[in-house]
Every structure is written in structure tokens, then in C-alpha cells.
């Protein structure tokens, strides 16, 4: 489906931004070296890992920081241009990607506590695709779009093609995220030869559906946001009636609509998006002053969350929601010296409650390993199989989306209950004890 400007203007009215301001806390300010913080991911409640992206020959670092601003460098990649991304893997390590002096993408593993990197030499030379977030994670690998295909980087770096793009499908947009819903369906955005952008869906069976073709209005630079049901949100940096930006939605049936346009004055040019536990979209603008905004998905209202002239942050800003409900973000050029900042915003979002959407496997004997998959699982304090508790020493939480346990003695068939510091949930399906 091709979406032109006339259709876009007919689909949405300009929604004024509400004047809301929430306090911004600068956790850490970077200076000359290292500088330019980019990626950020939560390792455990209140503990984050990230990487810098300073585009200099001085190299970059992988760092850890907590909610109080205690910072430490855990690895250095000297002589590199940039580290677009680093994040925790389900195998207990960190996965990262950087560009070497020849501007070639390279991939590595790193112990979570830091130390020497292990380069994934088998993945060398395959090119680079999405930079934030890099891809969709699983226990022993990561799915991502590459220059001509969707593939899986397994351990210790073997690349397995999953789906190959045709010439008509274009090439991946490096400024758009790549997502995978719980049923294993992939979503992404490609740049077409015409200059337009293709939003697509690919099933595990290898069927590609062209969800929408968007005209290039100065983007869309913002990452796609895909909900578990397959609803897609995205942004056009210069879309809308006043060319100040717009946010669109594609429902699971493929119906396209523009849900909000940015106002003629004030915040404009949306550059990042993420979905929080309250179901709303949050993002940043590529302007000065910079703004953090929220889109209420139920009402279509666009509101200002915070603004900065550069001291707290200078966006574009990569952001996530922490286990405590606050927004945490990186600003590559914020701060007094322009070296970048890591900041938090208390926007009044409730701490995210856990969800368990999959059990792998769904049946097994006592002692069998079971993965509970879902979201907001960091800080898991207890797991029960039909009321029978798993010993706390047997609970492993490698990422926010996975908890590993073994079926405890005395377990009965039924739903699995999981408790975190933020609440209790039960699995959507039952587990069968064999």
C-alpha cells in the first residue's frame, strides 16, 4: 500500500502538545574521552550497560552505570570509530557491534563484568543493518536484517540466512529498528530505490507482506515500535501538515493511519520511539531545545514530557523504561562540555508489571529446564508451578525477557506463577508435568 501526502493529511488533524514538565536528573556527564554515550540496556533492576559512539580514532568504551550515577568503564575498544550497540544476551554475556578503522562492522561478545572481548570472526564482512536496537534476541543468537537478508547470528558467530530480500524489497534502513513478536514474526523498514520507505512483515515461513510505502519526508528516522499483537507505530521526522513530524499506525490487518501530527511551533522532528509499560509511546525530537514527548495510544493526544536546551540532554536521545518505571536515556552531545549525558526522567509511569507469554517447553519431567518468556521480568523473586515454589537459587534471569528455572519436585500441571519486585503474574498457558 502506497501512502501519499494527500492521504496522510486527510487521515489526521494536528494535535496540540500539552504543556507538561517532569524533572530531569543527570546521572553522569561525559567529557573528552570517553564521550558520546549511545546504547543503554538494563542488566538488573537499577543496573545498566551501554556503549559510547564518538566517531573518533581514540576508541570507545563499554560502561556500566546505576540509578545513582555510579559509573565504571568495563571494556575499551581502542582505535575504533564507533560502537553502535551493546546489550545483554540470554547466554549470560554481552553482545556488541562496532565499526573498525576501515568502517567495517565487527561483532563481539564480552563478559558482563567486563574484560577482554571475543570477536565473532565468522560474522565479519556480513555488513550492518539496524543500529538501535540492533535486533531480536534469543538464547544462543540474535536475529537482524542485513544488507540483503534477514539472518540469525548464532554462537560463536555463524550467520544463518532466514529470508532474502528481492531488489523490489529495498535494503534495511539503519535508523529503523527490527522487531520480532512472540509468535516469531519479523517487522522492519527498508529503503526503496525510489527514495520511499517500505514497512514490512515477514513470517517464519518466509512470506513477506508489504504493510505500507511511505514517502521520504525527511525520514522516517524513528525506530518502528511493534506491539505483541503486531500493531506497528512509526514516525516521519518531517511529515504532517506543517512538515514538523507525524506518528503513524499500522494495525494487524494492515490498515494505515496517521494518529498524530506535531504542532507548527514547539517540539518537532520526532527521532526516537519506545513503548512503555503504560501502553503509551515515548520519544525524543531532533531539535534545539530538545523535547521528550508522549503519545497516548488510546486517545491520540501528543504531550510534552520534558525539555532541555542542552545541559540535561541534547537529542536525538535513545531511551528505555527502567524497572522502577522511570525513563532512562543517553544524549550523545548533551552536557556543559557537549560530551554527552546519561539522564533519567520521572514521568509518573508506574513500574512495569511482569508478563509471561510463553513457556519453552510447555511440558516436561521434574528437573527439566523451562524458560519463561515475556517482558519486564528483571527482578524476579519467585516462580511457582501450580503453587510449588522453585528454589531461589535455581532462578536465573539473563535478560528482561527470559527467566530460566527447573521443574521443582512435587510440581503439578497447571499455570506457572512468576513474581518480581513489581508484582505477580501467571503464564498464559499451562505447563504439563509428565
Q: For residue range 131-183, what is the model confidence (pLDDT) as tens digits? A: 556 677 766 678 888 889 998 887 777 888 889 999 999 998 877 888 888 88
**Domains of the chain by start residue, with CATH:** 2-345 (2.120.10.30), 355-433 (2.60.40.10)
Q: What is the mean pLDDT of the chain?
A: 87
Query: Residue 6 above 60 pLDDT?
Result: no
Q: Grid cell 501502553 — which residue?
A: 279
Nearest to 96 by CA among 87, 104, 105: 87
Q: For residue range 75-110, what is the model confidence (pLDDT) as tens digits? A: 987 666 677 788 888 888 898 887 776 667 778 889
pLDDT at 116: 87
Q: What percent of the chain has pLDDT over 90?
A: 57
CB atoms within 10 A of CB 279: 10
Q: Which three cell numbers stand for residue 300?
A: 491520540
Q: Which three cell numbers stand for residue 183?
A: 509468535
DSSP letters spanning 56-101: STT-EEEEEEETT--EEEEEEETT-SEEEEEEE-TTSEEEEEEE-T
Query: What are the strands of the beta sheet with 414-420, ordered from one edge?
Result: 363-364, 423-433, 414-420, 380-385, 388-389
Please give the DSSP secondary-structure letter assigned to residue 349. P
Q: For residue range 266-314, what is the model confidence (pLDDT) as tens digits? A: 899 998 999 999 999 999 998 899 999 999 999 999 999 999 988 999 9
Amino acid at each position: 500500500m502506497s501512502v501519499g501526502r494527500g492521504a496522510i493529511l486527510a487521515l489526521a488533524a494536528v494535535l496540540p502538545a500539552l504543556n507538561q514538565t517532569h524533572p530531569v536528573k543527570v546521572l553522569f556527564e561525559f567529557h573528552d574521552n570517553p564521550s558520546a554515550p549511545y546504547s543503554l540496556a538494563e542488566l538488573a533492576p537499577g543496573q545498566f550497560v551501554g556503549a559510547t559512539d564518538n566517531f573518533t580514532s581514540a576508541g570507545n568504551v563499554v560502561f556500566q552505570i546505576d540509578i545513582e550515577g555510579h559509573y565504571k568503564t568495563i571494556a575499551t575498544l581502542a582505535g575504533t570509530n564507533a560502537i553502535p550497540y551493546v546489550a545483554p544476551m540470554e547466554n549470560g554475556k554481552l553482545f556488541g557491534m562496532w565499526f573498525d578503522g576501515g568502517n567495517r562492522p565487527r561483532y563481539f561478545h564480552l563478559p558482563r563484568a567486563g574484560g577482554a572481548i571475543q570477536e565473532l570472526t565468522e560474522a565479519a564482512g556480513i555488513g550492518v543493518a539496524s543500529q538501535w536496537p540492533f535486533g531480536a534476541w534469543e538464547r544462543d543468537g540474535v536475529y537482524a536484517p542485513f544488507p540483503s537478508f534477514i539472518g540469525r547470528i548464532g554462537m560463536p558467530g555463524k550467520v544463518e540466512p532466514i529470508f532474502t530480500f528481492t531488489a523490489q524489497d529495498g535494503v534495511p534502513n539503519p535508523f529503523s529498528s527490527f522487531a520480532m513478536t512472540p509468535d516469531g514474526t519479523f517487522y522492519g523498514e527498508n529503503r526503496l530505490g525510489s527514495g520511499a520507505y517500505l514497512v514490512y512483515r515477514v513470517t517464519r515461513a518466509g512470506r513477506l507482506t508489504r504493510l505500507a510505502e511511505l514517502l521520504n519526508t525527511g525520514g522516517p528516522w524513528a525506530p518502528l515500535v511493534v506491539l505483541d499483537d503486531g500493531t506497528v507505530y512509526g514516525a516521519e521526522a518531517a511529515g504532517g501538515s506543517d512538515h514538523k513530524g507525524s506518528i503513524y499506525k499500522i494495525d494487524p490487518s494492515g490498515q494505515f493511519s496517521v494518529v498524530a501530527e506535531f504542532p507548527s511551533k514547539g517540539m518537532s522532528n520526532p527521532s526516537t520511539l519506545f513503548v512503555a509499560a503504560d501502553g503509551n509511546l515515548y520519544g525524543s525530537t531532533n531539535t534545539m531545545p530538545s523535547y521528550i514527548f508522549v503519545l497516548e495510544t488510546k486517545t491520540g493526544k501528543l504531550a510534552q514530557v520534558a525539555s532541555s536546551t542542552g545541559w540535561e540532554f541534547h537529542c536525538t536521545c535513545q531511551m528505555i523504561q527502567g524497572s522502577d518505571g522511570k525513563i532512562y536515556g543517553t544524549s550523545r552531545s548533551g552536557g556543559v562540555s557537549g560530551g554527552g549525558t546519561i539522564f533519567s526522567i520521572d514521568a509518573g509511569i508506574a513500574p512495569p508489571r511482569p508478563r509471561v507469554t510463553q513457556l519453552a517447553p510447555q511440558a516436561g519431567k521434574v528437573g527439566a529446564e523451562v524458560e519463561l518468556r515475556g517482558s519486564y521480568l528483571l527482578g524476579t523473586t519467585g516462580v511457582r508451578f501450580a503453587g510449588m515454589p522453585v528454589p531461589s537459587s535455581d532462578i536465573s534471569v539473563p535478560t528482561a525477557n527470559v527467566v530460566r528455572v527447573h521443574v521443582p519436585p512435587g510440581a503439578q500441571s497447571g499455570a506457572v506463577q512468576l513474581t518480581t519486585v513489581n508484582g505477580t503474574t501467571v503464564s498464559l498457558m499451562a505447563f504439563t508435568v509428565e
